[in-house]
């Protein structure tokens, strides 16, 4: 999880005081939100939020090569493996709804 958050480091680096670790800050804020929402157990993770965001971006029409960069994937094949399936499932549901 920390490795995935490292890609956010440049984006949040200038928003935090120099002595604050951005990754620790993000994880701490996530835990604060969980506590405030009275979420117990391991219902969601930072990675779940990342996957949800990427799925929404793919469904919204963001090109795979752009999503690959945003997600920090090593290759477009990795991105396509996860998010092409989501788009294929959406197509099947749409086709079923149109023929019902």
Between 69 and 7, the more confident residue is 69
Both 99 and 74 in one domain: the answer is yes
**Domain range enclosing 11:** 1-43
Same domain, yes or no, for 29 and 63?
A: no
Q: Assess whether 65 and 38 both reside in one domain.
A: no
End-to-end, the C-alpha distance of the chain in Å comes to 42
- Please give the average per-residue pLDDT across 57-64, as a whole number: 86
DSSP one-letter code for 42: S
Judge if 54 and 26 occupy the same domain: no
- Residue range 29-47: average pLDDT? 79
Contacts of 62 (CB under 8 A, 6+ apart): 70
Same domain, 94 and 53: yes
Q: Do 69 and 23 share a structural domain? A: no
Q: Are residues 55 and 70 in the same domain?
A: yes
Within 13 Å of residue 90, how many CA atoms lie on the same side as its CB? 11
Number of domains the chain contains: 2
């Amino acid at each position: 999880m920390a490795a995935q958050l490292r890609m956010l480091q440049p984006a949040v680096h200038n928003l935090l005081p120099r002595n604050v670790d951005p990754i620790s800050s993000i994880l701490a804020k996530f835990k604060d939100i969980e506590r405030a929402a009275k979420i117990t157990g391991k219902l969601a993770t930072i990675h779940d939020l990342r996957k949800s965001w990427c799925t929404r971006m793919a469904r919204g029409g963001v090109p795979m090569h752009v999503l690959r960069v945003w997600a920090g994937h090593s290759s477009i094949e990795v991105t396509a493996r996860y998010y092409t399936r989501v788009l294929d499932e959406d197509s099947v549901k749409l086709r079923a709804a149109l023929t019902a």
